[in-house]
Structure 1
Amino acid sequence: METQHHPLVVPELRGPSGGPDELLASEAQIEKEELEPWGGTLFGEWFHVLGPKQSVTGEYIYTGEVFNNAHGGIKTSGATAYRGNIDIVFSIDMNEAVGIEGGTFFIYGENNHGRSITTDYVGDYQTLSNLDADPFTQISEYWWMQEFGEGDVWFKIGKQDANADFCALDLAGDFVGSSFGVIPNVPMPTFPTPGMGIAGFARWSDSLLLKGGIYDGNPRGGTWGLNELGKYGHFAIFEAAWEPRFGAEGQLTGVYRFGAWRHSGEVEHVDGSGETRQGNHGFYMAFDQLVFREGNDPETDQGLGLFFQLGWAPEQYNEINRYYGCGLNYKGFFEGRDEDYIGLGWAYTQWGPTIHEISGHTYESVVELYYLCQLTDSIVLQPDFQFIANPGGVDARDCLAIGLRFEIAL
């Protein structure tokens, strides 16, 4: 299973596509973050702005979590596991560094360590933590981004995480469950194995962004992305993102993403016949919509947002035929806790009819509730509760997992 982890990097380091708080952010907040981008870090600007003409910016994040399987699943005895992840990110403004206007070079090193609660104790298909992976240390991404004109057209080339630009929800970015980050039947190169690729983006209008990418079809982790490049085909994806604004003052922002993908590699039919075919495909939708901003004030970043996901792939050669996800996210729900988030989400995977007839797999359903507490500008603490019905899809005991995640921005 591939999972996805979004490091807490400043949005500018990820490119013009923006960051996870984009929907709720007010104009005043955006301007403040542009003026003081390192205000939410432990050591401040001196630790992050480096190099000639201050052309190099860095971000350093430690994320840790402890989860316990309190009920059901594989076993509950000794079912507590710790996992941590270190993100080290550098972005170089190539205009300041060497005079290439509109150019940015990005490199991202990562260390992941600890034990898997999914593998050892729960047995869920969707993977309850988006940090879950075999321990590794690697250069996860390195790419060049080039903007043209006024920044309405740009491309990225190099080893990259496709989920940073495609099939990603803004309002689900703080959920721990993997499916809220990447739809489980979209086989894109993402954490923990990003891949070599090229992606292009064009802002067609103020409310429409078009994007497409082509990536290595089966990247290997722990490498520079060049090992066996293209040996197992390629993964291509296209997405159209509509970004409307509703309300009298346009205060209710939204993003509606419609995407399709194709993998050119050989795929085996799931009926056990051994028959194969060349190519796999599918489509997805991922919607974010802010439905309430406190006081209907476009200058506040507190309010309620809803999200929805759908993924489809042919049941003849994909284990998961359909996926559905939805949820809500509220910033500033409790009085005096304006920077805290509370979220409730549901993720549902459905095995295809052929798989069901052969092995009995049916569905797996996850309900997640979290509360993200902003302890200081640079430290967050996040209790998390997940109820997993039918983990693994075959008459397994329903599971309750309880966890606590923390993140420190150095």
Structure 2
Amino acid sequence: MTVRLKVFLPFIFLLVALPAYQAAGQECAVENEAETVSCVPDNAFTDEPDLRFLTTLLNPDNGVTFQPTYYGEVFTNAHGGISTSNSTHYEGLLDLSLSLDLEKLNAPIPGQINVLFQNTHGRGLEQNVGATQIISSIDSLNNITQMSELWWEVGLYETGITMRIGRQDLSSEFITMDTASDFINSAFGLSPSAGLPSFPAPSPAVVLMKDLSNEVTVKAGIWDAYRSNEAGIFSNNGSVLFIGEFEYRFQSPFRQLPGLFTAGITYETPGEVPSGAIPRAYGYYVQYEQMLIREAGCDADNPQGLSVFAQHYPTYSSGNSPFPLIPHDALAGLTYTGLIRNRDADVTGAGAGWVDLDQGGTDQEVMIEVFYKAIVNDNLIIQPDLQYITTPSGIYPDAFVAGIRFQLDL
């Protein structure tokens, strides 16, 4: 463990210390300046060119938007888990996103079409750690090269209902929290171990969404459940997932800070896969997000300050499933945007996830993650990350994982 930490900790220290060093070089505020921190950057009202390498390769004004993004990371299992031998690995994800605005393209049908091509390469840490809450949100378990999403979205006449039909990721609209989106552990999104039609195996679906007011949104969807990475459009296993979600946006009563409460239900019909019968299952989830502190001068477009989030998602099954059973799970954490002066877009976070298991041993697993996400420029984001997992999958020794991720917007 000591040797591995000697490799990673200098990088983590430099990435965290660099923003602080840059801030220290700024002029100090005069003594009679109000003791508030303004979050409006000096260049907030200037039109600076987008410096991404391939931005607007195809012109969005003409109805075509193409956005390539590359994620790469190196993680090591420094202690515990299944094994620390040969446990430093690189993993990468290439996202190629294409959006077509059919009205701007003067197409004979309205709405928009979205396509997402994905390629993963390298290797994650799951064979070394053995955690149910998978260490990285870009870990596809087996490397993939596929068209992950292809869907058409259109407004249904004057009803105010938006329909989205085609192959899509459940977590793009359901069971997701924006406040938790900067964490690396997959549990803060939708872990592949959850058995839901999300990365790395989205599936065909029909989704309906409607804003009932400025505060309330309702959503409903039906998915081909348990889609595998095999060829073909449908899974043909007979199992269907129904999901409904209610969102309520509000302002806190004292400081009028934004918050979001989400509640949803899921129901999966029985089916059959080669490894066994899929039982009937249902669940519900509740999510809470709230800004607690907002720096002076901030608004919704520049939301610097402290936010918290929490989630609980119990599920119930009528029989033994061939997939890992997670009867209960819970998440909680906090993030601060712009914690270091003059680093207004950087994000610092700390969070924890807990899962109740049915695999023997302790039958539970707790994951703790801390990170610092540094926005280097318009192209590059660098994020050092530490995770501690107690009894991975309930049966392995406590594990300590260290790593660093970069994101390159091309």
With the shorter chain as reference, the TM-score category is 0.7 to 0.9
Alignment of 1:123 onto 2:110: no
Contact 1:186 1:282 in 2 (8 A): no
Q: CA RMSD in A?
A: 2.9
Query: What is the identity, as a one-letter code, of the residue corresponding to 2:114?
Result: F
Partner of 1:261: 266
Alignment of 1:39 onto 2:50: yes
After TM superposition, the runs of 4+ consecutive aligned structure 1 residues lying more than 6 A away are 35-38
Query: What is the identity, as a one-letter code, of the residue corresponding to 1:392?
Result: S
Aligned positions of 1:8-407 closer than 5 A: 39=50, 41-45=52-56, 47-49=57-59, 54-99=62-107, 102-119=110-127, 121-133=128-140, 134-148=142-156, 152-182=160-190, 187-221=195-229, 223=231, 226-228=233-235, 230-246=236-252, 250=256, 252-266=257-271, 278-295=279-296, 297-298=298-299, 300-314=302-316, 317=320, 319-351=325-357, 355=358, 359-394=360-395, 396-407=396-407
Identity of aligned residues (%): 29
Structure 1: gaps of 5 or more residues: 1-27, 269-273
Question: What SS is found at the alignment partner of 2:105?
Answer: helix
Shift in Å, 1:339: 1.0
Structure 1 length as normaliser, TM-score? Answer: 0.81
Distance 2:368 2:180 in 1: 13
Say if 1:123 and 1:186 are closer, same or farther in 2 by CA, change over 3 A: closer
Say if 1:249 and 1:309 are closer, same or farther in 2 by CA, change over 3 A: closer
Query: What is the identity, as a one-letter code, of the residue corresponding to 1:289?
Result: Q
Shift in Å, 1:77: 2.2
Query: What is the identity, as a one-letter code, of the residue corresponding to 2:133?
Result: Q
Partner of 1:11: none
Shift in Å, 1:186: 5.2
1:64-123 deviations in Å (ceiling 9; x for gaps): 00001111111212210000000001000010113457500011101001112112x111
Larger Rg: 2
Contact 1:267 1:280 in 2 (8 A): no
Shift in Å, 1:247: 5.3
Structure 2: gaps of 5 or more residues: 1-39
Query: What is the identity, as a one-letter code, of the residue corresponding to 2:303?
Result: D
Shift in Å, 1:264: 0.6
Partner of 2:35: none
Distance 2:74 2:196 in 1: 27
Aligned length: 363
Structure 2 length as normaliser, TM-score? Answer: 0.81
Distance 2:290 2:351 in 1: 14
Say if 1:279 and 1:292 are closer, same or farther in 2 by CA, change over 3 A: same
Contact 1:138 1:222 in 2 (8 A): no
